[in-house]
Amino acid sequence: MKADRLTIKELTDAVGSGITPRMVRHYHQLGLIPQPVRSPSNYRLYSQQDVIRLQRIVALKQQGFQLSHIRHILEVEPQTDTNNNLMAQLQQQYRAVMQQISQLRQTATALEGLLGRDQHCQIMQGSVLAQLKLLEVDTQAGIGGLEKLWSGLDKEVHTHSEAFPESLQRLLPDLSARSEIEQHLISQLVLACGDVSLVPFVRLSQKAIAISREALKSGCEIIVDIPTVAAALDQTRLTHLGCRVSTLIDNPHVTTATEAELAFWQHQQWQDKLLQIPPASVLVVGYAPSVLLQVCTAIENQQIQPALVIAMPIGFSHAPAAKRQMMQLDVSFITIEGTLGGGLLAATALNALVESLIDKPDCHCYLKDSCG
């Protein structure tokens, strides 16, 4: 056996990341990895090129690409005319994925319509569940009957206010591994956007809760990217803690992500102002991804030293990249992976931290399993 040839076990060991020989054989079947040469004893033998290709597959898979997408990406050589064809294929696949998400969202909405009901609706809910089993929904009459069932269930909402905690208890995934303060934070974020699917994308650094509480207790300064975020903050509680709120892009006419992005790029004064942020402050970025990117650069260059960064800018390329960069830095953060974000969610995160601190100043649940 040549020294530069690897067995399938040596290949998976070289790549790591949980790759197994069975997965490699599956990738062969899908055409992701070319069939290797064989030894005289019929063992698969791999080269360093196979190692690199498998590493690329793993990296793309970790970024969320499906195996069918990865195959198309790897088949196209850089700087060729087929890049346009690849982009068209990926766009078509993206639309197919979005259609699947839409269908799943419809299913989730129907389930939420049942599971999210509180005790006041349970009698009617039980009746609906019983009648759902009897419906012939593939006929027009059955569909009409289903609409009548939903109509009857919806009438119950007029008899009382919605019990949000009860609904969340049925809909949220198991958060028992998280501290009580984190559970409250996540619940408030879900309520702010009405989307339970947000939960898996919420990311907190290990000491984010502890550091944020210490900073807020000390009356730290709160810096937000635009006035829209400041308007959504709980000014009363922040004043009680002695925390002053200031705005980076201090222009009342800047109210959207597009305006914030352009304003920050076009005006050096906001970029200079960013570098004057006082140490141990809390930064809240809810709109402009370029602000977060500049924050990351300034932290990396030790030009600013915030206590916490709440990183929730909006965007489809710069925002996810800025969040990934933030999570690699030695700084405490709270963020939502991907494109999800916005000023309301960013302000909600800070408001939840402030509320927990004032309501439970002696709580140490973030340091152990429960408040006790």
Per the DSSP assignment, residues forming a β-bridge with 44 are: 38
CB 152 within 8 A of CB 128: yes
Give residue 134's pLDDT: 60
Give residue 370's pLDDT: 38
The mean per-residue pLDDT over the stretch 322-327 comes to: 96
Give residue 106's pLDDT: 81
Binned at pLDDT 50, 70 and 90, residue 293 comes out as: very high
Q: Which residue has the higher pLDDT, 232 or 120?
A: 232
Whether 1 has a pLDDT exceeding 50, the answer reads: no
Per the DSSP assignment, residues forming a β-bridge with 317 are: none
Per the DSSP assignment, residues forming a β-bridge with 309 are: 283, 333
Give residue 169's pLDDT: 84
Q: Residues of 128-164 as b/e, b for ≥16 C-beta within 10 angstroms?
A: beeeeeeeeeeeeeeeebbeebeeebeebeeeeeeee
Q: Which residue has the higher pLDDT, 343 or 156?
A: 343
CB 132 within 8 A of CB 152: no
**DSSP symbols for 249-265:** S--TT--SHHHHHHHHH
What residue ranges define each of the domains in the chain, with the CATH number in brackets? 8-75 (1.10.1660.10), 116-163 (no CATH), 172-367 (3.40.50.10230)
Give residue 124's pLDDT: 57
Give residue 78's pLDDT: 54
- Mean pLDDT is highest, among 52-61, 96-105, 289-298, for 289-298
The mean per-residue pLDDT over the stretch 92-97 comes to: 82
Residue 160 DSSP one-character state: S
The mean per-residue pLDDT over the stretch 192-199 comes to: 92
Whether 372 has a pLDDT exceeding 50, the answer reads: no
Give residue 117's pLDDT: 65
332-336 sheet: strands from edge to edge: 202-204, 332-336, 308-311, 282-285, 222-224, 245-247
Q: Among 125-129, 313-317, 334-338, which is the least confidently predicted range?
A: 125-129
